[in-house]
Structure 1
Protein backbone atom coordinates (compact mmCIF):
# COMPACT_ATOMS: atom_id res chain seq x y z
CA UNK A 1 0.00 0.00 0.00
CA UNK A 2 1.32 3.43 -0.94
CA UNK A 3 2.09 6.13 1.61
CA UNK A 4 -0.62 8.74 0.99
CA UNK A 5 0.58 12.31 1.33
CA UNK A 6 -2.15 14.97 1.36
CA UNK A 7 -1.05 18.20 -0.32
CA UNK A 8 -2.84 21.40 0.63
CA UNK A 9 -2.35 25.13 0.98
CA UNK A 10 -4.33 28.33 0.71
CA UNK A 11 -4.88 30.11 -2.61
CA UNK A 12 -1.69 31.51 -4.15
CA UNK A 13 0.65 29.43 -2.00
CA UNK A 14 2.16 27.45 -4.90
CA UNK A 15 0.27 24.19 -4.58
CA UNK A 16 -0.10 23.49 -8.32
CA UNK A 17 3.59 24.21 -8.90
CA UNK A 18 4.55 21.92 -6.01
CA UNK A 19 2.26 19.14 -7.31
CA UNK A 20 3.97 19.39 -10.71
CA UNK A 21 7.35 18.92 -9.02
CA UNK A 22 6.16 15.66 -7.44
CA UNK A 23 5.00 14.52 -10.90
CA UNK A 24 8.42 15.38 -12.37
CA UNK A 25 9.94 13.00 -9.81
CA UNK A 26 7.59 10.21 -10.92
CA UNK A 27 5.21 10.42 -7.95
CA UNK A 28 1.56 9.76 -8.92
CA UNK A 29 -0.54 12.86 -8.09
CA UNK A 30 -4.34 12.86 -7.76
CA UNK A 31 -5.87 16.31 -8.22
CA UNK A 32 -9.23 17.09 -6.60
CA UNK A 33 -9.93 20.09 -8.87
CA UNK A 34 -9.14 18.11 -12.05
CA UNK A 35 -11.44 15.34 -10.82
CA UNK A 36 -14.36 17.76 -10.38
CA UNK A 37 -13.72 19.15 -13.89
CA UNK A 38 -13.88 15.58 -15.30
CA UNK A 39 -17.05 14.80 -13.33
CA UNK A 40 -18.68 17.99 -14.68
CA UNK A 41 -17.54 17.45 -18.30
CA UNK A 42 -19.78 15.85 -20.97
CA UNK A 43 -20.32 12.23 -19.97
CA UNK A 44 -19.05 12.90 -16.44
CA UNK A 45 -20.63 11.04 -13.53
CA UNK A 46 -21.82 14.26 -11.83
CA UNK A 47 -23.77 15.65 -14.80
CA UNK A 48 -26.93 13.59 -14.17
CA UNK A 49 -27.09 14.16 -10.39
CA UNK A 50 -26.47 17.92 -10.82
CA UNK A 51 -29.16 18.10 -13.52
CA UNK A 52 -31.60 16.48 -11.09
CA UNK A 53 -30.93 19.27 -8.55
CA UNK A 54 -30.57 22.22 -10.92
CA UNK A 55 -31.49 21.43 -14.57
CA UNK A 56 -30.58 24.92 -15.82
CA UNK A 57 -26.95 24.41 -14.71
CA UNK A 58 -26.41 21.72 -17.36
CA UNK A 59 -25.67 22.97 -20.86
CA UNK A 60 -24.54 20.92 -23.87
CA UNK A 61 -24.25 17.84 -21.67
CA UNK A 62 -21.86 19.43 -19.18
CA UNK A 63 -22.22 21.27 -15.88
CA UNK A 64 -21.85 25.04 -16.30
CA UNK A 65 -19.89 26.16 -13.22
CA UNK A 66 -20.78 29.83 -13.80
CA UNK A 67 -24.49 28.90 -13.71
CA UNK A 68 -23.88 26.95 -10.49
CA UNK A 69 -22.12 29.90 -8.86
CA UNK A 70 -24.90 32.27 -9.90
CA UNK A 71 -27.56 29.93 -8.48
CA UNK A 72 -25.67 29.59 -5.18
CA UNK A 73 -25.96 33.33 -4.61
CA UNK A 74 -29.76 33.05 -4.47
CA UNK A 75 -30.03 29.60 -2.85
CA UNK A 76 -27.84 29.25 0.28
CA UNK A 77 -28.74 25.55 0.64
CA UNK A 78 -27.66 24.64 -2.92
CA UNK A 79 -23.98 24.12 -2.06
CA UNK A 80 -24.84 21.57 0.64
CA UNK A 81 -27.11 19.63 -1.76
CA UNK A 82 -24.49 19.69 -4.53
CA UNK A 83 -21.74 18.53 -2.19
CA UNK A 84 -23.95 15.64 -1.07
CA UNK A 85 -23.91 14.24 -4.63
CA UNK A 86 -20.47 15.37 -5.83
CA UNK A 87 -18.30 14.53 -2.78
CA UNK A 88 -19.03 10.76 -2.91
CA UNK A 89 -18.11 10.73 -6.63
CA UNK A 90 -14.85 12.55 -5.89
CA UNK A 91 -14.09 10.15 -3.03
CA UNK A 92 -14.73 7.14 -5.28
CA UNK A 93 -12.38 8.56 -7.93
CA UNK A 94 -9.66 9.13 -5.29
CA UNK A 95 -10.06 5.58 -3.95
CA UNK A 96 -9.77 4.16 -7.49
CA UNK A 97 -6.61 6.24 -8.07
CA UNK A 98 -5.06 4.83 -4.88
CA UNK A 99 -5.93 1.28 -6.00
CA UNK A 100 -4.47 1.93 -9.47
CA UNK A 101 -1.19 3.14 -7.91
CA UNK A 102 -1.03 0.73 -4.96
CA UNK A 103 2.43 -0.43 -6.05
CA UNK A 104 3.91 3.09 -5.86
CA UNK A 105 5.79 3.79 -2.61
CA UNK A 106 4.24 7.27 -2.45
CA UNK A 107 1.15 8.96 -3.88
CA UNK A 108 0.20 12.62 -3.48
CA UNK A 109 -3.44 13.63 -3.04
CA UNK A 110 -3.76 17.30 -4.03
CA UNK A 111 -6.79 18.55 -2.06
CA UNK A 112 -7.16 22.34 -1.78
CA UNK A 113 -9.82 22.17 0.95
CA UNK A 114 -8.27 19.21 2.79
CA UNK A 115 -8.74 20.59 6.32
CA UNK A 116 -12.02 22.30 5.46
CA UNK A 117 -13.55 18.95 4.40
CA UNK A 118 -11.91 16.69 7.02
CA UNK A 119 -9.76 15.11 4.31
CA UNK A 120 -6.77 14.65 6.63
CA UNK A 121 -8.50 11.51 7.97
CA UNK A 122 -7.90 9.80 4.61
CA UNK A 123 -4.14 10.41 4.31
CA UNK A 124 -1.04 9.22 6.16
CA UNK A 125 0.51 12.69 6.45
CA UNK A 126 -0.23 16.25 5.32
CA UNK A 127 2.10 18.59 3.43
CA UNK A 128 1.20 22.29 3.67
CA UNK A 129 2.70 24.69 1.12
CA UNK A 130 3.04 28.28 2.22
CA UNK A 131 4.65 31.62 1.46
CA UNK A 132 4.55 35.11 2.93
CA UNK A 133 1.31 37.15 2.61
CA UNK A 134 2.86 39.66 0.17
CA UNK A 135 3.93 36.93 -2.27
CA UNK A 136 0.56 35.19 -1.92
CA UNK A 137 -1.35 38.42 -2.66
CA UNK A 138 0.84 39.23 -5.69
CA UNK A 139 0.30 35.73 -7.16
CA UNK A 140 -3.46 35.79 -6.63
CA UNK A 141 -4.03 39.34 -7.85
CA UNK A 142 -2.17 38.48 -11.09
CA UNK A 143 -4.84 35.89 -11.96
CA UNK A 144 -7.38 36.84 -14.66
CA UNK A 145 -10.61 38.23 -13.26
CA UNK A 146 -9.35 38.40 -9.67
CA UNK A 147 -10.50 41.28 -7.48
CA UNK A 148 -9.73 42.27 -3.89
CA UNK A 149 -13.32 41.38 -2.93
CA UNK A 150 -13.11 37.92 -4.52
CA UNK A 151 -9.71 37.28 -2.91
CA UNK A 152 -11.14 38.21 0.50
CA UNK A 153 -14.15 35.97 -0.10
CA UNK A 154 -11.93 32.98 -1.00
CA UNK A 155 -9.69 33.51 2.03
CA UNK A 156 -12.73 33.70 4.32
CA UNK A 157 -13.75 30.17 3.24
CA UNK A 158 -10.30 28.70 3.86
CA UNK A 159 -8.66 27.61 7.11
CA UNK A 160 -6.03 30.31 7.87
CA UNK A 161 -2.50 29.58 6.65
CA UNK A 162 -1.10 29.78 10.20
CA UNK A 163 -3.49 27.05 11.35
CA UNK A 164 -2.71 24.86 8.33
CA UNK A 165 1.02 25.16 9.05
CA UNK A 166 0.46 24.28 12.70
CA UNK A 167 -1.58 21.20 11.79
CA UNK A 168 0.55 19.95 8.88
CA UNK A 169 3.10 17.14 9.26
CA UNK A 170 5.39 18.77 6.68
CA UNK A 171 5.63 22.39 5.56
CA UNK A 172 7.33 23.63 2.37
CA UNK A 173 8.03 27.31 1.71
CA UNK A 174 7.43 28.17 -1.96
CA UNK A 175 9.28 31.49 -2.11
CA UNK A 176 11.57 30.37 -4.96
CA UNK A 177 11.30 27.49 -7.44
CA UNK A 178 14.80 26.23 -6.54
CA UNK A 179 14.01 26.11 -2.83
CA UNK A 180 10.65 24.43 -3.44
CA UNK A 181 12.14 21.84 -5.81
CA UNK A 182 14.88 20.97 -3.31
CA UNK A 183 12.34 20.63 -0.48
CA UNK A 184 10.08 18.39 -2.60
CA UNK A 185 13.01 16.15 -3.58
CA UNK A 186 14.10 15.89 0.05
CA UNK A 187 10.59 14.98 1.19
CA UNK A 188 10.16 12.34 -1.53
CA UNK A 189 13.51 10.84 -0.53
CA UNK A 190 12.49 10.81 3.13
CA UNK A 191 9.03 9.32 2.58
CA UNK A 192 10.11 6.63 0.11
CA UNK A 193 13.06 5.37 2.14
CA UNK A 194 11.02 4.71 5.25
CA UNK A 195 11.91 7.89 7.16
CA UNK A 196 8.63 9.72 7.70
CA UNK A 197 10.06 12.56 9.78
CA UNK A 198 9.88 16.24 8.89
CA UNK A 199 11.65 17.27 5.71
Structure 2
Protein backbone atom coordinates (compact mmCIF):
# COMPACT_ATOMS: atom_id res chain seq x y z
CA UNK A 1 0.00 0.00 0.00
CA UNK A 2 1.35 3.41 -0.97
CA UNK A 3 -0.09 5.06 2.16
CA UNK A 4 1.91 2.87 4.54
CA UNK A 5 5.18 3.30 2.62
CA UNK A 6 4.75 7.10 2.58
CA UNK A 7 3.95 7.07 6.29
CA UNK A 8 7.15 5.10 6.88
CA UNK A 9 9.09 7.59 4.73
CA UNK A 10 7.72 10.53 6.74
CA UNK A 11 8.75 8.89 10.03
CA UNK A 12 12.21 8.24 8.59
CA UNK A 13 12.56 11.89 7.52
CA UNK A 14 11.45 13.16 10.93
CA UNK A 15 14.04 10.96 12.62
CA UNK A 16 16.67 12.02 10.06
CA UNK A 17 15.85 15.68 10.75
CA UNK A 18 16.40 15.23 14.49
CA UNK A 19 19.75 13.53 13.87
CA UNK A 20 20.82 16.26 11.44
CA UNK A 21 19.79 19.03 13.84
CA UNK A 22 21.74 17.45 16.71
CA UNK A 23 24.78 16.78 14.52
CA UNK A 24 24.90 20.29 13.06
CA UNK A 25 24.70 21.89 16.50
CA UNK A 26 27.31 19.58 18.05
CA UNK A 27 29.89 18.79 15.36
CA UNK A 28 31.99 21.90 16.08
CA UNK A 29 31.57 21.80 19.84
CA UNK A 30 34.75 22.32 21.86
CA UNK A 31 35.43 21.27 25.42
CA UNK A 32 37.05 23.50 27.99
CA UNK A 33 36.90 21.04 30.80
CA UNK A 34 35.10 17.86 31.60
CA UNK A 35 36.34 14.39 32.23
CA UNK A 36 37.93 12.11 29.68
CA UNK A 37 34.88 9.84 29.91
CA UNK A 38 32.56 12.75 29.02
CA UNK A 39 34.70 13.70 26.03
CA UNK A 40 34.88 10.10 24.82
CA UNK A 41 31.10 9.71 25.19
CA UNK A 42 30.54 12.91 23.22
CA UNK A 43 32.92 11.80 20.46
CA UNK A 44 31.22 8.40 20.21
CA UNK A 45 27.80 10.11 19.99
CA UNK A 46 29.02 12.37 17.18
CA UNK A 47 30.53 9.38 15.38
CA UNK A 48 27.43 7.20 15.64
CA UNK A 49 25.16 10.08 14.57
CA UNK A 50 27.40 10.79 11.59
CA UNK A 51 27.24 7.10 10.66
CA UNK A 52 23.42 7.09 10.87
CA UNK A 53 23.21 10.23 8.75
CA UNK A 54 25.52 8.75 6.11
CA UNK A 55 23.49 5.53 5.94
CA UNK A 56 20.21 7.43 5.59
CA UNK A 57 21.54 9.96 3.08
CA UNK A 58 20.62 8.03 -0.12
CA UNK A 59 17.03 7.60 1.07
CA UNK A 60 16.74 11.26 2.13
CA UNK A 61 18.08 12.34 -1.29
CA UNK A 62 15.68 10.01 -3.10
CA UNK A 63 12.69 11.38 -1.18
CA UNK A 64 13.72 14.99 -1.91
CA UNK A 65 13.90 14.07 -5.61
CA UNK A 66 10.49 12.36 -5.52
CA UNK A 67 8.84 15.43 -3.99
CA UNK A 68 10.87 17.78 -6.22
CA UNK A 69 12.41 19.77 -3.37
CA UNK A 70 15.12 22.14 -4.72
CA UNK A 71 18.08 20.78 -2.75
CA UNK A 72 20.91 21.52 -5.21
CA UNK A 73 23.01 24.68 -4.95
CA UNK A 74 25.41 25.72 -7.70
CA UNK A 75 28.85 26.97 -6.67
CA UNK A 76 29.93 29.37 -9.45
CA UNK A 77 33.50 29.62 -8.16
CA UNK A 78 34.16 25.88 -8.54
CA UNK A 79 31.44 25.23 -11.15
CA UNK A 80 29.97 22.36 -9.17
CA UNK A 81 26.57 21.52 -7.67
CA UNK A 82 26.22 20.68 -3.99
CA UNK A 83 23.38 18.63 -2.54
CA UNK A 84 22.16 20.30 0.65
CA UNK A 85 21.73 16.96 2.45
CA UNK A 86 25.28 15.86 1.60
CA UNK A 87 26.64 19.09 3.03
CA UNK A 88 25.26 18.14 6.44
CA UNK A 89 28.18 15.71 6.71
CA UNK A 90 30.88 17.71 4.93
CA UNK A 91 31.94 21.34 4.75
CA UNK A 92 32.53 21.65 1.01
CA UNK A 93 29.68 24.16 0.61
CA UNK A 94 30.43 26.48 3.53
CA UNK A 95 29.04 29.92 2.83
CA UNK A 96 26.83 28.55 0.06
CA UNK A 97 24.27 26.60 2.13
CA UNK A 98 23.77 27.52 5.76
CA UNK A 99 22.88 24.96 8.43
CA UNK A 100 19.45 26.58 8.79
CA UNK A 101 18.82 26.17 5.06
CA UNK A 102 19.77 22.48 5.25
CA UNK A 103 17.28 21.94 8.06
CA UNK A 104 14.64 24.01 6.23
CA UNK A 105 14.99 21.81 3.15
CA UNK A 106 14.66 18.70 5.29
CA UNK A 107 11.53 20.20 6.86
CA UNK A 108 10.15 21.02 3.41
CA UNK A 109 10.68 17.40 2.37
CA UNK A 110 8.89 16.22 5.53
CA UNK A 111 6.00 18.58 4.73
CA UNK A 112 5.68 17.31 1.15
CA UNK A 113 5.78 13.73 2.42
CA UNK A 114 3.05 14.55 4.97
CA UNK A 115 0.84 16.07 2.25
CA UNK A 116 1.25 12.97 0.10
CA UNK A 117 0.48 10.79 3.11
CA UNK A 118 -2.74 12.73 3.73
CA UNK A 119 -3.79 12.37 0.07
CA UNK A 120 -3.12 8.63 0.13
CA UNK A 121 -5.07 8.25 3.39
CA UNK A 122 -8.09 9.96 1.82
CA UNK A 123 -7.86 7.53 -1.12
CA UNK A 124 -7.54 4.61 1.29
CA UNK A 125 -10.79 5.43 3.12
CA UNK A 126 -12.76 6.54 0.04
CA UNK A 127 -15.01 3.69 -1.17
CA UNK A 128 -15.39 5.32 -4.60
CA UNK A 129 -11.63 5.15 -5.10
CA UNK A 130 -11.71 1.39 -4.50
CA UNK A 131 -14.77 1.02 -6.72
CA UNK A 132 -12.89 2.85 -9.48
CA UNK A 133 -9.85 0.60 -8.96
CA UNK A 134 -12.01 -2.53 -9.14
CA UNK A 135 -13.77 -1.29 -12.27
CA UNK A 136 -10.41 -0.41 -13.82
CA UNK A 137 -9.21 -3.98 -13.26
CA UNK A 138 -12.42 -5.40 -14.75
CA UNK A 139 -12.17 -3.14 -17.80
CA UNK A 140 -8.52 -4.07 -18.36
CA UNK A 141 -9.09 -7.82 -17.91
CA UNK A 142 -9.90 -8.76 -21.55
CA UNK A 143 -6.90 -6.79 -22.79
CA UNK A 144 -4.69 -8.37 -20.12
CA UNK A 145 -5.81 -11.84 -21.31
CA UNK A 146 -4.95 -10.93 -24.90
CA UNK A 147 -1.55 -9.57 -23.84
CA UNK A 148 -0.84 -12.72 -21.83
CA UNK A 149 -1.79 -14.85 -24.83
CA UNK A 150 0.84 -13.04 -26.89
CA UNK A 151 -1.31 -10.56 -28.81
CA UNK A 152 -0.51 -6.87 -28.97
CA UNK A 153 -3.20 -5.72 -26.57
CA UNK A 154 -2.35 -2.00 -26.94
CA UNK A 155 -3.22 -1.94 -30.64
CA UNK A 156 -6.39 -4.00 -30.08
CA UNK A 157 -7.46 -1.75 -27.19
CA UNK A 158 -7.16 1.35 -29.40
CA UNK A 159 -9.00 -0.26 -32.32
CA UNK A 160 -12.75 -0.10 -33.00
CA UNK A 161 -13.18 -3.66 -31.70
CA UNK A 162 -11.46 -2.69 -28.43
CA UNK A 163 -13.74 0.33 -28.05
CA UNK A 164 -16.79 -1.88 -28.59
CA UNK A 165 -15.56 -4.35 -25.95
CA UNK A 166 -15.01 -1.50 -23.51
CA UNK A 167 -18.48 0.00 -24.24
CA UNK A 168 -20.13 -3.37 -23.60
CA UNK A 169 -18.24 -3.69 -20.31
CA UNK A 170 -19.24 -0.17 -19.25
CA UNK A 171 -22.93 -0.79 -19.99
CA UNK A 172 -22.79 -4.09 -18.10
CA UNK A 173 -21.10 -2.48 -15.07
CA UNK A 174 -23.57 0.44 -14.96
CA UNK A 175 -26.49 -2.00 -15.26
CA UNK A 176 -25.05 -4.06 -12.40
CA UNK A 177 -24.68 -0.94 -10.22
CA UNK A 178 -28.30 0.05 -10.93
CA UNK A 179 -29.36 -3.50 -10.03
CA UNK A 180 -27.47 -3.17 -6.72
CA UNK A 181 -29.51 -0.05 -5.94
CA UNK A 182 -26.90 2.69 -6.35
CA UNK A 183 -28.44 6.15 -5.99
CA UNK A 184 -28.14 8.77 -8.74
CA UNK A 185 -25.26 10.59 -6.99
CA UNK A 186 -23.43 7.31 -6.36
CA UNK A 187 -23.88 6.37 -10.03
CA UNK A 188 -22.48 9.76 -11.09
CA UNK A 189 -19.40 9.17 -8.92
CA UNK A 190 -19.01 5.68 -10.37
CA UNK A 191 -19.38 6.97 -13.95
CA UNK A 192 -16.72 9.65 -13.23
CA UNK A 193 -14.42 6.89 -12.04
CA UNK A 194 -15.20 4.85 -15.16
CA UNK A 195 -14.48 7.77 -17.46
CA UNK A 196 -11.12 8.42 -15.73
CA UNK A 197 -10.05 4.79 -16.12
Q: What TM-score, normalized to structure 2?
A: 0.26
Larger radius of gyration: 2
Q: What TM-score, normalized to structure 1?
A: 0.25
